Structure 1
Amino acid sequence: MKTSLSEWLTWMEQCHPAEIELGLERVSRVAESLQLDLSASTVVTIAGTNGKGSTLTFLNRIYREAGYRVGAYTSPHFIDYNERVQINGVNASDQQLCDAFQKIDQARGDIPLTYFEFGTLAALVIFSAEKPDLVLLEVGLGGRLDAVNIIDPDIAVVTTVAIDHVDWLGDDRNKIGYEKAGIFRAGRPAVCGDLDPPPSVAEYAAQIGAQLYQSGTHFSITADENGWNWFAQGEPEPVISQLPLPALPLQNAATALQAVQLIPLPVTPQQIRDGIARAQMTGRMQRLEKNGRIYWLDVAHNPEAAGLLAQRIRALPGCSKLLLGMLADKDCRQVLSLLAPEVESLYLADLQGSRAQTAGQLAGMLPEGCPAQQFSSVTAALQALKIDTNPGDNVIIAGSFFTVSEALQALEKDR
């Protein structure tokens, strides 16, 4: 008998032979038994190679500023599993999650479920009971065959399409775009925030009859150092102007505002401005200051995200050093080539687990003549950085959710 959240999570990790098994047949059968009902909520599903989390965060913050109850499902978590399911920014309690897992286990019979499928169903069980005004669902992997896609969203969003997870999604952008567009629904709005999407996104939308809103065609922005404006197709004046520059990527804010135009929950321009100004995320250019050092935590685990992080590093004043730990199934060589030139020195760390890349393996992928120190853990690298840096220096921590998670826990202990 499982009585605690940790017991449930340990059991869930062991109850399916595969970490990932894409497909909707098994999870749909269990969902049907659970009699999930999200009819009281407007549902927005968000897919994309990068930008899912920040687009969701903008929407979450805007609608909470407007006084709506917002449920959000994201993954993975950084420290506590409860982070994955939130109502109005508050993590689900251990009891809520345990009760949901118990219901799922009873409903599934002998149907095997992955860890992610259990978690997705638990979020849906909680949202079905809580009935928030808005439910925001972040796709875990791909879109078409991801467990989140058992729900028919009122609005579907694809943020960006880039090469990642090639073993599961294919090895070119057109294949990946098709998988991500699989969250679109016939006769319902679909938003694409990629400025240069592969043809498969629009082709899929046309094939099923989804109403596609494409960045650069149906909506656009202008921006300068003082702020930015959001335009709808064919309108000479901005729909909303004098928006504050966000801490998270601007293009994802623009994509979120297209979704705002389609969500049937009224918000004012000032609530939008406040939401954008206050939108912050764990592990996305997250700023922490300790002992005079400035730590910037950003997952940046693929080339597209690393390119954006490189631009951010370039704009930072003072000295910057990089702590990097990565998984072996990522394009580590390209990430290193983008980030290494932007920092004064590199600190490479081993990660734990079957998918982990060692610091030595990462060092072997560095551009010629680029030295790096190697460490057995993220925590050990942080200890060295504490000695090797001066007040005012920037420490960039990137490469994986696991890297950022371990760093957050180590920095929390180092008070």
Structure 2
Amino acid sequence: MTHTSLASWLSYIESQHPAEIELGLDRGNKVLSRLNLSRPKHQIITVAGTNGKGSTCAMLTQYLYEQGYSVGTYTSPHFLAFNERIALNNNPCNDAILCRAFEAIEAARDGIELTYFEFSTLAALWIFDHSDLDYWVLEVGLGGRLDSVNMVDADVAVLTSISLDHVDWLGDNLEVIAREKAGIARKDKLLVSGVVNPPDSIATTAFEVGAILRQKNVDFSFSLDQDVWSWRGNDMSFANLPIPSLPLQNAATVIAVLVYMGMSPNKEDLARLFSTAKLLGRFQKVSSSPDIYIDVAHNPEAALELASRVKGLPKQPIAICGMLKDKDIGSVMAYLADAFSEWYCCDLGGIRGAKADELVNSILKVAPNLPANNLHTYTSVESALPSALSTAKQEQRPIIVFGSFVTVSDYLALSQVKSDL
């Protein structure tokens, strides 16, 4: 079937499988075998974890590119355009190459049902194969063992963090979830774990697979000293590194990946990386007067990171928050209820979207003394934004837009529209 635009292709692939998520490798592997793809000149780096995947992929990609290597990076989800998911040397692919990739996948699948994510993953692999790259950096979408990214064998597997999330798909305890995520490891290949307090199943899985495990606080470590930090491991050390804008835990894991895969990074290159690396939607300042930050924090671990970032602001901020109802809303609010002077809670659309009233009820459960007039409900980010902006300007407070990729995407779409006027 031929489609004339990327929008048409995306609409088509969304309709090709009845389920949004269906974990498993059989369907994708059948199509992958028909594509007869090669591998990059050097290595495939696959990144899994509950939080920190995106920032880890971003830092690895930037470092490798700045060292003169060509890099393909596959991440998800996107904010404004599907093109964000598949990048060549840090630049999103254009519509034309994406359409060619979808045409190739469509021809190869020959009636095999693929989910939207499987279709997308295969397209990314096809594009990378046809771009003659040095490295592929692949972000796992959900879990690890049965995620479609795991169709290709990783030369370097990376685990960023493990916490309770997607329990309906991955299991209801950390040991089970960690085993699923560690399923990206391969025999005689490197598995770098940046997980703090790692479940035993990571080491067990590495032993069963025969992977070469290197763990934070066992094989490498880092320490913070006011406004600089240090890393040590594998008989190497780096002192007085600049604090990155992305999470420090992930920066430490990135150094470990580079060191143990034999890149021999130097301090000057690392300092430049951590001074410049950024990622859309990770406590990112996107506007001034008032200051507006966006953050995709949507689970307890990310909420704890956001709470620590908020403490560094000169004034207590205002929240614009929308969440999906299958997230641990109660735990997120437990970390953040007192972090904001005022809450503008929004409904999110779709069957997974939580209502603003649900967010308010969760806040009141953990902060029952919070004044009722500090909690506001709206039907959308669009309807909440004018009121939040008015309060922020009057009180000279910053705004944090957070709670979901959907929330941040809605805000970015609104701000893009305004900038285009």
Name the structure 1 match of 2:392: 389
Q: Paired residue for 2:293, among 291, 296, 304?
A: 296
> Structure 1 residue 119: deviation in Å?
0.5
Name the structure 2 match of 1:356: 353
Question: Residue 144 of structure 1 contacts residue 180 of structure 1 at CA under 8 Å; is this kept in 2?
Answer: yes
Letter in 2 for 1:255: T
Task: Call closer, same or farther: CA 1:190–1:129 in 2, change over 3 Å.
Answer: same
Residues 1:221 and 2:218 aligned together: no
Which runs of 5 or more structure 2 residues have no equivalent in the other structure? none
1:192-238 residue CA offsets vs partner (Å, 9 max, x unmatched):
101201110010001111110000000001221231111015x4xx5
1:132-175 residue CA offsets vs partner (Å, 9 max, x unmatched):
21110000000000000011111000110100000000000000
Q: Paired residue for 2:272, among 264, 271, 274?
A: 274
Question: Residue 161 of structure 2 contacts residue 194 of structure 2 at CA under 8 Å; is this kept in 1?
Answer: yes
1: CA distance, partners of 2:258 / 2:87? 20
Q: Secondary structure at the match of 1:364?
A: helix
Residues 1:412 and 2:410 aligned together: no
> Structure 1 residue 315: deviation in Å?
1.6
> Structure 1 residue 411: deviation in Å?
1.9
- State the identity %: 42
Residues 1:150 and 2:147 aligned together: no
Letter in 1 for 2:159: V
Residues 1:310 and 2:307 aligned together: yes
> Structure 1 residue 365: deviation in Å?
1.7
1: CA distance, partners of 2:360 / 2:275? 39
1: CA distance, partners of 2:230 / 2:146? 36
Task: Please give the root-mean-square deviation of Cα atoms over the aligned residues, in Å.
Answer: 1.3
Name the structure 2 match of 1:165: 166
> Structure 1 residue 382: deviation in Å?
1.1
> Structure 1 residue 39: deviation in Å?
4.0
Q: How many residues align?
A: 411
> Structure 1 residue 266: deviation in Å?
5.6
Q: Paired residue for 2:328, among 322, 328, 331?
A: 331
Q: Secondary structure at the match of 2:204?
A: helix
1: CA distance, partners of 2:184 / 2:112? 24
Question: Residue 61 of structure 1 contacts residue 276 of structure 1 at CA under 8 Å; is this kept in 2?
Answer: no
2: CA distance, partners of 1:302 / 1:146? 20
1:231-280 residue CA offsets vs partner (Å, 9 max, x unmatched):
015x4xx5222211100110100001111013355644322221121110
Question: Residue 190 of structure 2 contacts residue 261 of structure 2 at CA under 8 Å; is this kept in 1?
Answer: no
Name the structure 1 match of 2:26: 25
2: CA distance, partners of 1:80 / 1:202? 38
Name the structure 2 match of 1:36: 37
119-128 or 391-400: bigger deviation? 391-400
> Structure 1 residue 296: deviation in Å?
1.1
TM-score of the pair, normalised by structure 2: 0.95
> Structure 1 residue 352: deviation in Å?
0.9
Task: Call closer, same or farther: CA 1:136–1:35 in 2, change over 3 Å.
Answer: same
Question: Residue 54 of structure 2 contacts residue 75 of structure 2 at CA under 8 Å; is this kept in 1?
Answer: yes
359-368 or 182-191: bigger deviation? 359-368
Name the structure 2 match of 1:57: 58
> Structure 1 residue 89: deviation in Å?
1.1
Letter in 2 for 1:312: R
Q: Secondary structure at the match of 1:288?
A: strand
1:101-112 pair list within 5 angstroms: 101-112=102-113
Letter in 2 for 1:4: S
Question: Residue 62 of structure 1 contacts residue 274 of structure 1 at CA under 8 Å; is this kept in 2?
Answer: no
1:281-319 residue CA offsets vs partner (Å, 9 max, x unmatched):
0000111123x1111111110011001101111121113
Name the structure 2 match of 1:96: 97
